[in-house]
Amino acid sequence: MFIKAAILLAALTATANAAVVDFFNDNNCQDFSYSRNIYDNTCGPTGGFQSFRVTADGGNFQRLTAYSRNACAGASTACIDAYGNYGCVSATNVNGGSNAMSSGTGCGLV
């Protein structure tokens, strides 16, 4: 019985939250490109995009930050709550579109 409880506890502990995000090739969420999970407290390159829309909530108090560089550093193009925001978000700046996204406890934090 103890082993089953330990396995269940380990499985529940390993469960991570992730926002599901749709990425678009234009800045008004019309030209769909791909969908991706952005796990809480992670960051990584996503491939190029101009706008995005959250389709499933991430963890509480998480914020999604989009970056113009293909890295989680430098200028950000957008920062929104990872939950409860299902509108189209433009993710461009003077450098163009975005190439990476993070989920963290604040804008630009992982």
Residue 49 CB contacts under 8 Å (≥ 6 apart), including other chains:
23, 24, 25, 33, 66, 91, 97, 98, 99
**10 — pLDDT class (breaks 50, 70, 90):** very low
Average pLDDT over residues 93-101: 94
For 47-66, the pLDDT digits (tens) are: 999 999 999 999 999 999 99
Whether 47 and 99 have beta carbons less than 8 Å apart is answered as: yes
Mean pLDDT score of the chain: 89
Maximal CA-CA distance, the chain = 60
**15 — pLDDT class (breaks 50, 70, 90):** low
For 62-90, the pLDDT digits (tens) are: 999 999 999 999 899 999 999 987 899 99
Q: For residue 53, which phi and psi values (nearest 5 degrees)? A: -145, 130
pTM to 2 decimal places: 0.84
Domains by residue range for the chain, with CATH: 18-104 (2.60.20.30)
